[in-house]
Structure formats: C-alpha cells, structure tokens
Structure 1
Amino acid sequence: MTNVSLGGALAVALISVALCACSPVTLVNALTPRTTYREVTNLAYGTFERQRLDVYVPTHPDAGASGMPVVVFFYGGSWQNGQREDYRFVGEALASRGFLVVVPDYRTYPEVTFPGFMDDAAIAVRWASDRAQAFGGDPERLFLMGHSAGAQMVALLATDARYLHANGMRECDIAGVIGLAGPYDFLPLKSDVLRRIFPEPVRLASQPIHFVTGREPPMWLAVGDADTVVDPGNTTRFARRLQRMNDEVEVRHYDLGHAMLLGTLSAPLRGYAPVLDDIAAFVNSAPERASVHPACS
C-alpha cells in the first residue's frame, strides 16, 4: 500500500464518512480532474423525474473500430437515496481509461418499492445500448457496474432475465458485470425499512443468488475485507453459486471498508488499492469472451 501523508489520511476519513452517509461527496469531486472527459448531463431515459442520467465521454478515447466499451454505473444508497451528480468521480475514473460511462438516477423508496427501481435500471440500460454509438461507444461491449445497493441491482439484472427481456434485451447483450460490495444474498431482512422496501410477496425475487442458472455474463466482484456495512459473505456465497453453475466469475479482495472500495476510484486515492486498474483489465478482456457467451448459443 502506498504511504500517505496525514492530510491524505484525513481525506480518506472524510470521504469514507461522506460516502457512507450518502451526502454530497463534495471533497471527492472537488479533487476530480475535468480534463479527461466531456460530460453530457440531465438526459431523460423515461418520463419520471428520477429517470435522468449523465454521460461521460472520454476526451482522448482509445477506441477500436467498433467504438469504446460502455459502462453503466448504478450507485448505492440503501435503495433510499443518492444522486448521480455525487458520482462524477466514478465517471471521470472510468472515462480516464477510455470507457464511455453512463450514470443514471433511479426511483428510490418511498417513491417506489422493489421491483420499481429494477424497472428503472433496465430501462436505463436499454437507453445506453440504443444510444452508445451516438457517443462513440460499442453496444456490443456493454458492462453493468454497481456499488452496494447498485451492485445488487446490476447482479439481479444479469441473473433474473425478466428485466432485460421486458426491454427487448437478452442476457448476452451484457458483456460483463462489475459488482463492488454488493448484497446478493441478504435474507432475512434486518430492519423495518428494508421490509417495506422489499415487500414479503416479492422478497425472495430480490436476491440475485436465487436466480443463477449458468447463463450469466462474466462477473467481476470486489469485496472490502473491512466492510462493516454489507457482509462480505454476500460476495462469497454469490461467487460460489456462480462457480457451481460454471459461470465465469472473478473475486477480488481489498483491505478496505465499504465506502473506500469505491472511493479509491477517485484520482487522489487510486494509490490505496488497484481497484480501477483491475476493473479496467476486466473490461478490456471482454472481446475474448463475447463469442463464447452461453446465453447467445
């Protein structure tokens, strides 16, 4: 691990608090470069107020003939809060590696309960697939990425095909899934608010681990071994189920907490762990996978 100054350690502490509290991550974004991307903001992908998204287009894309890889990122917030503007540092990080990035908002509790936010996520993914080429992206290399609650959402999109199918997509339209600190197997629910978000009649359907069939896209799952917010056992159990069904899954462990697993994507903190490098390696290996996706056969 890279040595850091006292000021750097203080920045880590402040960022961790900000991310965990889901408040505006002012410090992170203030330190985020603006020269690596062009941002197109406040684009509608549906009719509801929360169905808006931002697109980050690399300033100097290193795209092949077919275009840049596309990453759709869903933030966390316990399915209750969050706003896309707070995650500019994620858009910048991925754009700096030559990826076209889409960061949607989505409806949260109490406006909707499960599966309302899943419906929004699927619509946003279809929007990104349809419009990727207009921004220089390659819809054949479409990745889903999420942190915390957002990781549950992208994992469920990849395992429960009904959401993609409802929007005219197939499992094989997703080149890969990137999950950071995700709850993939979190029953029984431990709070009254979660029981309201996930009503009893549909509660089991919220668990990505329940839907694994062996036809999932490749998955890259990151876990912070110091995570006290989401039990790292979620990732362990989910990965084991994927492996038993012969799905392609890679699990990476980092000596980080829940918020810092995502926070290390920000420019000033990338030296703490190679999370961004590892994500980029996964995305860039996609062409080797595309022709053997089981869901396309």
Structure 2
Amino acid sequence: MKFWFRPRHKSILLIAAFGTAIFSNGLAASYSIEENLAYYSDSLRDKDRYIKERCVLDLYYPNSVSRFPTIVWFHGGGLKNGNKSIPEGFQEEGFAVIGVNYRLHPKVKAPAYIEDAAAAVAWAFDNIGKYGGSAEKIFVSGSSAGGYLTSMVGLDKRWLERHSIDANRIAGLMPLAGHTITHFTVRAERGIGGTQPIIDDLAPLYHVRADAPPTLLITGDRELEMLGRYEENAYMMRMMLVSGHQQVQLFELDGYGHAPKEPAYPLILKEARRILNAMGN
C-alpha cells in the first residue's frame, strides 16, 4: 500500500511528534552518549589513517532500560561531505540512536561508502546488547546520501554477509530522499553525467526483493525535490510491490524540498513503533 502525506501546515505535522518516552517504571528515561566509537578492528585502523579518522560512530542510548530499539542514522552530503549526528527529533523517544561517519569522495570511491555503512550496522548488531538494547530491534535510516546507504545495506545482502549478518534481520528500512538508482557521485566516478540514470549492482533498485525488511520511503515534494528523487522512490515502491514485497510505503511531503528531516522524523518513529508493535514489543 502506498501513501502520500500532505500536511497543509507544518505545525500540524509537528504536533504529531512523540513526547519523552515513559517506561514501565513510570519514569522518563535518562540518556547517555558515547562518542567516536570505532566500528572497524584496531588492526585495520592502524593500517589506514583515513579509516581511523572517519570510521567512527556516536551512540546515544537510554539508561537502565532493557531490550530498547535502535536507529542507525547515516548523514547526507552526496557521499562527499557531512558528519555524524544524533538527530534531535529522535532524542528522548525510547530509542538508541547511532550516528555514523563514513569515508567520503574523493579520498575513496565506491563501494567504500557502502562497505563502511555495512560495517557500522554490523557493529550495532554485535554490540548493542552490551548497552541493554535488542539486536532484533535495529532500524536503519538516513538522509539523502545516507538514505542511499540505508537502502543499499538493507537490500543488497552481500555487504552484511561479509560480517556474517543476514540483512533481513534489520527491523525496518527508512531512507529519506535517497537515490534508488546508482548514486550520482558513483556515476561521476565512472564519467557518467548526472542526468544519465543508471541501474546497476550499486543501485538499490537492482536489489529489490520480496523478502526485504519493511520499508518506508520518504521524499519531499516532487516539484521541489532534487534530481527526480520522488520519481525514483515511486518506482522503487512500485517494483517492490511487483516483486511481492507487502510492507512498503511512500510518503511525499507536500510543500517541502529535498530531504526535509524534521517533518520526516515523526513518520520514521511512527513506522518503527508500528513494526515493534507487530513484533509484539
């Protein structure tokens, strides 16, 4: 089933934002943050200064809470710039949030970005339990280039297989305004112009499959978004449905431009909670 979300006023959407999470003890949770945690091995980091510099993450998580859910968040920036963050819209909502840095063009080329994203997601699966979280409740999301990485890691199973993890263990994919064709920076690395669409093995669309995790696609207004981003995502949703995937939604945020994070955060949280409820959590 597909949806278009068209709030008449931004304030209407923001009212839907969820308040501070209250847990079974009736108290609001407190949160901790650990910064610049490495998600590659020390041996690899010692061999590559750029990996040591960029391949780190921040972990924001609720204290004294067991089996909490987690959102792994990839920043945008065209695979060329940007830095990790813990989006304010996800804070104090009962979720851990992992903000990830990854290597950037031109210091590296594809598929290094995807390799890093997969390594960070694998870190979450391998380590979130140490902080009280559940590896069964890991969601992956990101904005723009981060949305592209979200879809690649979740749909192309080979990247997480390198870490002995089945991508289908991801509880849900929530890419915000991400490319579903091959990313424009990856195309540029091959000498392909930005208006030439390519769908190859570095395109999420190439890996559409019926058994993929539940997927929430979000874009800005088709007339205000960049590079046909809405149309790509609409085609992605259609092809997922054709493949037999039954848990895919598309939200177009009317009146908003590229990757409107604040309007999207409540939608991402709502979908994550829906999935958790369906899981019995």
What TM-score, normalized to structure 2? 0.77
Q: Tell me, in whole angstroms, the C-alpha distance in 2 between the residues paired with 1:212 and 1:2.
A: 33
The reply to whether residue 58 of structure 1 matches residue 62 of structure 2 is yes
- After superposition, the CA RMSD in angstroms is 2.5
User: Hey, what does 2:26 align to over in structure 1?
Assistant: none
The partner residue of 2:34 within 40, 55, 71 is 40
CA shift at 1:50, angstroms? 0.9
Unaligned runs of 5+ in 1: 5-34, 265-272, 292-297
CA shift at 1:277, angstroms? 2.3
User: Hey, what does 2:214 align to over in structure 1?
Assistant: 218
User: Hey, what does 2:253 align to over in structure 1?
Assistant: 254
Answer yes or no: is the 8 Å Cα contact 1:109–1:197 preserved in 2: no
The partner residue of 2:134 within 108, 123, 138 is 138
Answer yes or no: is the 8 Å Cα contact 1:113–1:198 preserved in 2: no
Q: Tell me, in whole angstroms, the C-alpha distance in 1 between the residues paired with 2:199 and 2:105.
A: 15
User: Hey, what does 1:240 align to over in structure 2?
Assistant: 238
Secondary structure of 1:106's counterpart equals coil
Q: Which amino acid aligns with 1:136?
A: G
Q: Tell me, in whole angstroms, the C-alpha distance in 2 between the residues paired with 1:235 and 1:128.
A: 27
- What do residues 136-176 of structure 1 show as CA deviations (whole Å, max 9, x unaligned)? 21110111101101111110111111001111100221010
Answer yes or no: is the 8 Å Cα contact 1:148–1:230 preserved in 2: no
User: Hey, what does 1:148 align to over in structure 2?
Assistant: 144
Q: Tell me, in whole angstroms, the C-alpha distance in 1 between the residues paired with 2:191 and 2:217.
A: 27
Answer yes or no: is the 8 Å Cα contact 1:45–1:53 preserved in 2: yes
Unaligned runs of 5+ in 2: 1-8, 13-28, 46-50, 193-197
Q: Tell me, in whole angstroms, the C-alpha distance in 2 between the residues paired with 1:176 and 1:3.
A: 27
Answer yes or no: is the 8 Å Cα contact 1:182–1:230 preserved in 2: no
After superposition, residues 1-297 of structure 1 pair within 5 angstroms as 1-2=9-10, 37-46=31-40, 47=45, 48=51, 49-58=53-62, 67-84=67-84, 87-88=85-86, 90=87, 92-186=88-182, 194-197=186-189, 204-225=200-221, 226-231=223-228, 232-247=230-245, 248-255=247-254, 256-259=256-259, 261-262=260-261, 264=262, 273=263, 275-290=264-279
TM-aligned CA distance change 1:223 to 1:127, over 3 Å: same
Answer yes or no: is the 8 Å Cα contact 2:69–2:134 preserved in 1: yes
CA shift at 1:194, angstroms? 4.6
CA shift at 1:223, angstroms? 1.1
Between Structure 1 and Structure 2, the one with more helix by share is 1
Q: Tell me, in whole angstroms, the C-alpha distance in 1 between the residues paired with 2:271 and 2:33.
A: 24
Q: Quick one: percent identity of the two aligned structures? A: 29
Q: Which amino acid aligns with 1:238?
A: M
Secondary structure of 2:163's counterpart equals coil
TM-aligned CA distance change 1:57 to 1:152, over 3 Å: same
Number of residue pairs matched by the alignment: 237
Secondary structure of 1:258's counterpart equals coil
Quick check: 228-237 or 165-174, which moved more?
228-237
The list of structure 1 runs, each at least 4 consecutive aligned residues, that deviate by more than 3 angstroms after superposition, is: 193-200, 287-291
